[in-house]
Amino acid sequence: MVASALAVALALPQAQAQEKKEPNQILITNVNVWDGRSDTVKKGVDVLIEGNLIKLVGAGIDAPKAHKVDGKGGTVIPGLIDMHAHHSIHEGMLEGRNSYDQMAIGAISGLRLRDYLDQGFTTSRDAGGNVLGLAKAVRLGRIPGPRIFPSGGFLSQTGGHADTGLITDQIGDTDILERSGFGYIVDGKTEARRAARKNLRAGATQIKIMAGGGVASEFDPIHTTQFSSEEIEAIVGVAEDYGTYVTMHAYHDRAVNRAIDAGVRCVEHNFLVSEETIKRMKRENIALSIQSVMSLEVFDPKNVEKITFFSADQKAKAKMVNSGASQMLKWALKHDIIMVTGGDMFDKANVNRQIENILWLKKVGFSNVQALKTATSSAAYVLSWSGGMNPYKDAYPDLSEDEKAKKGIGLGVIEEGAYADLLIIKGNPLEKLEVLKDRDNMQLIIKDGHLWKNTLVTATHPHYVPPERRVMTPNPVL
């Protein structure tokens, strides 16, 4: 008996070693690679994926046990990043109060996450709304979708851009959207700190404040400046204590500069500022988040009337934004400030064309590479400001912490140690950016090492993945 037990004990380590599976590998060959940072593609380069990371990038990679993918001469680029999503908003800010309960809003949100993936967006930064649970569910693999860097509920003053209450509300009333975490109406430093801490406690990666008036809301004229300096400083202080940053909704000089004075690091919109404010943003490393389709196309006077859920006042505000957008973007290019792309597109007519935010930048002077960087390496740089609140920390496992800090967070780039978030494009978007618009040109989509789309093979091939079967399937499925 003793001898038998000893034999079993000695055999266990060997059996466990045999049971330990080697990491899944995918070797992509016959492709050109744009790494997210360079001005050109590298031709004839292979990409080896191991697990959820990029293992090697180079010519002639030898990986005999890897599943082979023939890229057929396509271009590998990083998975795209949308820096101004609103995953909990669909047909206007009040739909979750007036039309559907939060169960329905969540179901609609889940479906729309799939559309982000179909467009090649493997990461998004949600710029306000009750998506903290949604972000967690995606991160844990409960539902498919792009990585979500959530802001949590908007922080707004009474009468600010995220005040979704009724005109008849009295002091102390709490709107149903605020109770659901959609946004927090806060006045004074104490309330501001509490709301910021509440978001961060629940998993926010950064904080979003409403620093000025807006278009899609009822109570706030676009010329207004919102939150006092002391209130913004209190919110920034909380974010800094958590090692992250604050981004702001603002359009004009007074609102933007007050918030920058208080320590806010990123401006959403910014379309009515002067060149002097742009120069300041350059000096102080302030990022600009651009919503080009909304500002240049949807808010064009001839198109504004088509927005059925806008009042006459909201349509007038939209036209005002359009009047300054093109000039502001030309100044931003001239002074080479940090720029990222965010859709801010959530209604059913526009949510499926987030990719056009990149294309529209060409109409105000961006080169193809400049436009692409706003949705790849530049976007990842701003995401890295979330510091320790970033839930995605697997990249660059062989580097020291100091080396990792210099590298970034492993998104928006194609390089060894980065996340396996990548696309294979038929054609070269550095030469013709418009190839991104045709989804048929997006032949392979991989997020976190998991296959989402593969049309490099024919529909009769066992590894072809049609839309109706797309889930975040672990490797290997090729």
- Tokens at 261, concatenated: 């004075």
**Bridge partners for 445 per DSSP:** 423, 453
What residues have CB less than 8 Å from 36, skipping those under 6 apart?
77, 78, 372, 373, 376, 377, 380, 412, 413, 414
pLDDT for position 311: 86
The answer to whether 157 and 210 are in contact (CB under 8 A) is: yes
3-state secondary structure of 23: coil
pLDDT band (50, 70, 90) for residue 465:
low
The answer to whether 41 and 425 are in contact (CB under 8 A) is: no
pLDDT for position 97: 86
pLDDT digits (tens, 9 = 90+) for 141-192: 999 999 999 999 999 999 999 888 888 888 888 888 888 889 999 999 999 9
Short-list 105, 99, 146, CA closest to 124: 146
pLDDT band (50, 70, 90) for residue 463:
low
Domain boundaries in the chain? 25-79+413-469, 80-375
The reply to whether domains 25-79+413-469 and 80-375 share a CATH topology is: no
Domain boundaries 80-375, CATH class = alpha beta
pLDDT digits (tens, 9 = 90+) for 2-35: 444 444 444 455 545 445 567 789 999 999 999 9
- Give the other-Cβ count within 10 Å of 172's Cβ: 5
Helices 253-261 & 275-283, crossing angle to 10 degrees?
20
Q: What is the mean pLDDT of the chain?
A: 91
pLDDT digits (tens, 9 = 90+) for 327-355: 999 999 999 999 999 999 888 878 899 99
What residues have CB less than 8 Å from 393, skipping those under 6 apart?
409
Q: Residue 455, CB half-sphere, CA atoms under 13 Å: how many?
A: 13
The answer to whether 256 and 273 are in contact (CB under 8 A) is: yes
pLDDT band (50, 70, 90) for residue 416:
very high
Lowest-confidence region among 93-102, 145-154, 260-269, 415-424: 93-102
Domain boundaries 25-79+413-469, CATH class = mainly beta
